[in-house]
Amino acid sequence: MEWRSDRSLQLRMGLTLAFVLLLPFAFAYVMLFLLNTVGLELLEFATERPWNGEFYVDPLLLVGAVVVGFAAQYALGDRVALRSVGARRVDADERPELHAAVTRLSSQLDLPVPDLAVSRTDVPNAFTVGRSPASATVVVTTGLLDRLDAEELEAVLAHELAHVKNRDVTVMTLAFFLPTLTYFVAMAAYVVLQGVFHVLGGFRHADDDGAKGLAVAIVVLTVSAILTLAVSAAFWVGSFLFFRLLSRYREYAADRGAVSLTGNPGALASALRTLDETMTELPDDDLREQDGGLEALYVAPIDAPQFGADRDLISRDVFPATHPPTEDRIERLREMDRGLESR
């Protein structure tokens, strides 16, 4: 098969970037609206006097803050990802066959040879991170290296390099900015709520004036924290849903890219089957260690029912899965295989 640019993937990446760029501003102005409505009412309630004027954010300052956030995500995203799974970069002396395979495949795609990193875990998987093709790092686990034969491993590496060629690795790195931002804002609001409940014990020892002041403070903090938590959660859900919709389609595109590179769809289908079957046999604790926010980047999904009914409810009914069904991917690969055989 000949390598072809996927226009549908490019369109999805463009829409995702536009969505991710706009949402931080929408989030900031929704919070500003709440400050100027509910927030001013709370101030009047707390101080027992009217408040004139309104809160204001300089648009240039907001643009600067968003740019800094994206720049930090762009610069540090790959390091954070590698650290989260305990991956260590390896050179050609440590893994000569692995380096040789990646070098050969990269040459076929006219790509710079990416760095290689290995994560010591029994969970068989692989993913790629990086700001650009020149700074990409392909990560494989020891579980993957132990379970796949040479052809299957080559197919998985080709799949990961297809992500680099399609440049969706860069988009996925940036797309995590808003979910990360809103998650931390929501967590800060949750911590404030915890603190409010903690100080409720102060009512026992406060006089009338102190109790009144404490009650006012608790009301103000509780309402503020609940509103912040609700808005942050809503934006987190929205951005994460959009992020996952891109992550699903890009897997099909990378599967097609791997086949065009290796000409061996059966090897990738066999590798996906092996990974899928192995996941169900591994302890939940091992799987959770690899499920720290990077699940959308893996070649094979790990947010599957083996985590139990409660997690399955959260993963499938509230959020779309990070990957298309493995059976669908395997069937598409088999169709490609039949197409190649008929030529």
Give the pLDDT confidence of 63-74 residue by residue, as tens digits: 998 888 778 877
Instruction: Look at residue 306 in the predicted model and tell me its pLDDT.
Output: 37
Strand-by-strand arrangement of the 137-141 sheet: 87-90, 115-119, 137-141, 126-129
How many residues are there in the chain?
A: 343
Phi, psi of 137 (to 5 degrees): -130, 120
Measured CA distances, 318 to 122, 298, 302 (Å): 29, 20, 17
Whether 21 shows a pLDDT value over 50: the answer reads: yes
Using CB atoms within 10 Å of the CB of residue 71, give its burial: 0 to 12 exposed, 13 to 18 middle, 19+ buried: exposed
Mean pLDDT of the chain: 81
Whether 315 shows a pLDDT value over 50: the answer reads: no
The closest alpha carbon to 3, from 258, 318, 319, belongs to: 258
**104-139: pLDDT as tens digits:** 999 999 999 999 999 999 889 999 998 889 999 999
DSSP string, 100-168: HHHHHHHHHHT-PPPEEEEE--SS--EEEE-SSGGG-EEEEEHHHHHH--HHHHHHHHHHHHHHHHHTH
The closest alpha carbon to 1, from 151, 154, 150, 108, belongs to: 108
- Indicate the pTM of the whole model: 0.78
**132-172: pLDDT as tens digits:** 899 999 999 999 999 999 999 999 999 999 999 999 988 88
Annotated catalytic, 335?
no
Q: Are 202 and 214 in contact (CB under 8 A)?
A: yes
> Quick one: which H or E segment has residue 42?
helix 40-47
Instruction: Look at residue 322 in the predicted model and tell me its pLDDT.
Output: 76
Structure tokens at 205: 């020892």
Using CB atoms within 10 Å of the CB of residue 5, give its burial: 0 to 12 exposed, 13 to 18 middle, 19+ buried: exposed
Among residues 160, 251, 277, 281, which one is catalytic? 160
How many CB atoms within 10 Å of residue 227?
19
Instruction: Look at residue 183 in the predicted model and tell me its pLDDT.
Output: 67
DSSP state of 90: E
Instruction: Look at residue 287 in the predicted model and tell me its pLDDT.
Output: 60
pLDDT class of 289 with cuts at 50, 70, 90: low
